[in-house]
């Protein structure tokens, strides 16, 4: 199921990212409102009634409690940019170290790709 969702969203990203800015922004906002927000809301409902385990299995559940601006920005980042790159935790660590960062700490919460480091 994940692969199907990825391929569909990637096809949408390739199409949307090639559009002119106003149209691209409008489509990304529509995706934020019609896809992201409903999924987040369902996860929030599960969490609210004590079904945290089910809530955590919902797509986009880590946006529960985030502002609409964060959700909107991430939808634009996902669908409005032509470049799609995915890196492993180790690849990110190596890039950060190669950039001169030390004491690198990765988030232990979703989304996991957030990390901080100190400049040497």
Q: What are the counts of helices (DSSP H) followed by strands (DSSP E) for the chain? A: 6, 2
Residues 7 and 37 in one domain: yes
Q: Is 84 domain-assigned?
A: no
Residues 69 and 106 in one domain: no
Per the structure, the count of domains in the chain is 2
Residues 12 and 40 in one domain: yes
Residues 67 and 22 in one domain: yes
Report the C-alpha gap between 100 and 120 in whole angstroms.
6
pLDDT in tens, 9-18: 889 999 999 9
Cross-strand pairs, 116? 105
The token duo for 23 is 């149209």
Q: Over 90: is that where the pLDDT of 5 sits?
A: no
Residues 47 and 13 in one domain: yes
Q: How far is CA 117 from the centre of its chain?
A: 21
Q: What is the band of 71 on the pLDDT scale with cuts at 50, 70, 90?
A: very high
Q: Is 94 domain-assigned?
A: yes
Q: What is the mean pLDDT of residues 52-63?
A: 91
Print the domain residue range for 25: 2-79
Q: Is 59 domain-assigned?
A: yes
Residues 40 and 95 in one domain: no
């Amino acid at each position: 199921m994940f692969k199907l969702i990825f391929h569909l969203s990637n096809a949408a990203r390739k199409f949307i990212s090639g559009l002119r800015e106003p149209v691209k922004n409008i489509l990304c906002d529509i995706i934020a409102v019609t896809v992201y927000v409903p999924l987040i809301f369902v996860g929030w409902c599960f969490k609210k009634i004590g079904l945290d385990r089910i809530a955590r299995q919902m797509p986009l559940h880590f946006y529960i409690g985030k502002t609409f601006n964060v959700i909107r920005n991430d939808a634009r980042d996902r669908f409005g940019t032509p470049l799609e790159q995915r890196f492993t935790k180790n690849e990110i660590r190596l890039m950060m170290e190669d950039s001169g960062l030390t004491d690198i700490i990765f988030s232990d919460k979703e989304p996991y790709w957030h990390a901080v480091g100190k400049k040497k």
